[in-house]
Chains A and B, each alone.
Chain A
């Protein structure tokens, strides 16, 4: 039992980027608690100024290797909106397809490579090669399936080449579409085995009600496009995000924190699940039920389970999309829309694997970027992470220091924070006016 406690984890492992966790407890009271981000900022908002309309998607893809398709798509959507470009339905379906598989790839990476070792009491996936080889093999196979699909549609797994404003520089062939369908269909036995393994994991009990925000669409489980929706009952057009979101610089962190209507909130798989459960495929709903995930769920640790349920959904929905694209036939004439530079502002909002991602560009009449604003999901989650920690620590204060440390690390890891992403965008303008 600890009356006084000093925990410092620096750097926190198995998260993307560099973050430190500091907790000081005196006489069972939290004196200091911070999730500090010393990762170096990269100034993407400055890098974009003056660049030509066809470059931002290539540049911002490099914000994050793990979610480069998400940044590419948010960027493309912002530019297309600003320039009035209308991509074909074929383009949108192919974007949704590549999008699914970045989400699968990222969710697999998180559930199996980064989070699972905690549940098996080891420090990485490597020791599991001996003790649970099946877990490792499923992880590698599923990750390869998703990466192969991104490679086929995007030209490579990290930083896609073919997804550009207006459409695709090159389309997949019909044979490739059929091959993708086959590898997707072959993945179901691994999903079943994963389900058996996940059933045995002991997810920590924890509950803290917060606001969950994601995009939402009437036609599907929104990842690529939709309105911005909250579990608090409001829904807005994605172009109007500034009506709700305010950002603030926190001194100990190079990543800004973000508030909606003055409240902290959570984004990511659990937020999507809570807002859009009804749009999941029947199969994905069955998996959710089997794993005890019920909307609305207020246990942050269940974010890992929501990520797995999304893998199932993405595989189901990809097969539907491929059938649809094949039925309509791939048409070269629909690969690229017409592009003409003009002045204007556009906002592109997508669901990155870690949650809501916003790119906001203003172009001048020569088609050059005048101003760019980027809001990153992990930046949105930081304030909520700290609130969660304040709720969690007192409830486990009587456990051993090692256990407290591990549970706190697991809580942060459950968010799947992408620290590289979130540190590039510190803007003070919003709070200074």
Chain B
């Protein structure tokens, strides 16, 4: 899609940025506004040319596209392809854009069945297709994962693109951050947790709050599945017991997940 380079190496002086929402809750865009202390610096470092949620004026001339939400309609497929053609660099922000996120529970339930349940005999009025992450349709250069994403990671990705450095996205498990934060392992407290195989970068925020990790940032590229299985059996659990929690954010079959399955 489009004619863009992908691997870092860019030095874009005051890049033009478009922020786009697809199917999701708007929480990722809100996390950008929640930067508060850094928001004014960010607004000065880039030129935001498209951000419907906060700005009336817009232009289709942008270099970096920040995309929130999953693709769930035919109209959405057309829109995302157009963005892919224009943007030099596309960043998927949030679980819905990166893995399909929670929206994929619709696929799990069954598209036709879901339409029938919610819309009854009016279901044909509705444009709704199987939920997919953004990289099903266009090339995604970087992922600011999570639900919600870590707002400082979004800033770091943009900062890296401005100075021509490749953004560093953690590819180690949440347990690393959780240990560093000195938490008691939640398994000790009778809580199941996806931390051992889930991608860090959130500063282990759920275990910090005495809750199990739900793998909202997806799974690391090379997960130690056996270690997770051992841990589960130590606490008398099976993979099946945690799959239900895992599919909250990872039920979609997008490129990111297919890659891991190979």
Report which A residues bind B (CB closer than 8 A): 11, 13-18, 38-43, 45-47, 49, 52, 55, 58-59, 62-66, 68, 109, 113-114, 117, 123-126, 129, 136, 140, 143-144, 147, 155-159, 161-162, 164, 169-170, 249, 251, 254, 418, 420, 425-429, 432
By the criterion CB–CB under 8 Å, are A156 and B205 in contact?
A: yes
Cα–Cα, bound, A249→B73 (Å): 19
**Chain B residues near A18 (CB, 8 Å)?**
21, 52
29 A-B pairs whose Cβ atoms sit less than 8 Å apart in the complex:
A13-B52, A13-B58, A14-B54, A40-B23, A40-B76, A41-B118, A42-B106, A43-B118, A43-B128, A45-B117, A46-B113, A47-B114, A58-B248, A59-B105, A64-B27, A65-B24, A123-B55, A124-B56, A144-B37, A147-B36, A155-B211, A158-B34, A161-B205, A170-B210, A249-B122, A426-B119, A428-B121, A428-B122, A432-B121
**Chain A residues near B103 (CB, 8 Å)?**
42
Cα–Cα, bound, A117→B56 (Å): 10
Cα–Cα, bound, A13→B51 (Å): 8
By the criterion CB–CB under 8 Å, are A161 and B209 in contact?
A: yes
**Chain B residues near A158 (CB, 8 Å)?**
27, 30-31, 34, 148
By the criterion CB–CB under 8 Å, are B148 and A161 in contact?
A: no
By the criterion CB–CB under 8 Å, are B75 and A38 in contact?
A: yes
By the criterion CB–CB under 8 Å, are A46 and B106 in contact?
A: yes
Q: Please, how many residues of chain B have a CB less than 8 angstroms from a CB on the other chain?
A: 61
With contact pairs A13-B52, A123-B55 given, residues A162 and B119 touching in the complex (Cβ less than 8 Å): no
**Chain B residues near A40 (CB, 8 Å)?**
22-23, 72-73, 75-76, 127-128
**Chain A residues near B244 (CB, 8 Å)?**
52
By the criterion CB–CB under 8 Å, are A114 and B118 in contact?
A: no
By the criterion CB–CB under 8 Å, are B28 and A65 in contact?
A: yes
Q: Interface residues of B: mostly helix, strand, loop or mixed?
A: helix
Cα–Cα, bound, A335→B128 (Å): 42
By the criterion CB–CB under 8 Å, are B36 and A140 in contact?
A: yes
**Chain A residues near B56 (CB, 8 Å)?**
13-14, 117, 123-124
With contact pairs A126-B43, A144-B36, A158-B148 given, residues A45 and B25 touching in the complex (Cβ less than 8 Å): no
For the complex with contacts A62-B102, A162-B210, 20 further pairs of A-B residues with Cβ separation under 8 Å are: A13-B54, A13-B55, A16-B53, A43-B106, A47-B102, A59-B248, A66-B30, A109-B30, A117-B56, A124-B55, A124-B57, A126-B55, A140-B37, A140-B39, A155-B211, A249-B119, A249-B122, A251-B125, A427-B120, A428-B121
Report which B residues bind A (CB closer than 8 A): 21-31, 33-34, 36-37, 39-40, 43, 48, 51-58, 72-73, 75-76, 101-103, 105-106, 109, 113-115, 117-122, 125-128, 147-148, 205-206, 208-211, 214, 244, 248
Closest 6 CB pairs of A and B: A65-B27, A123-B56, A155-B209, A46-B114, A124-B55, A47-B105
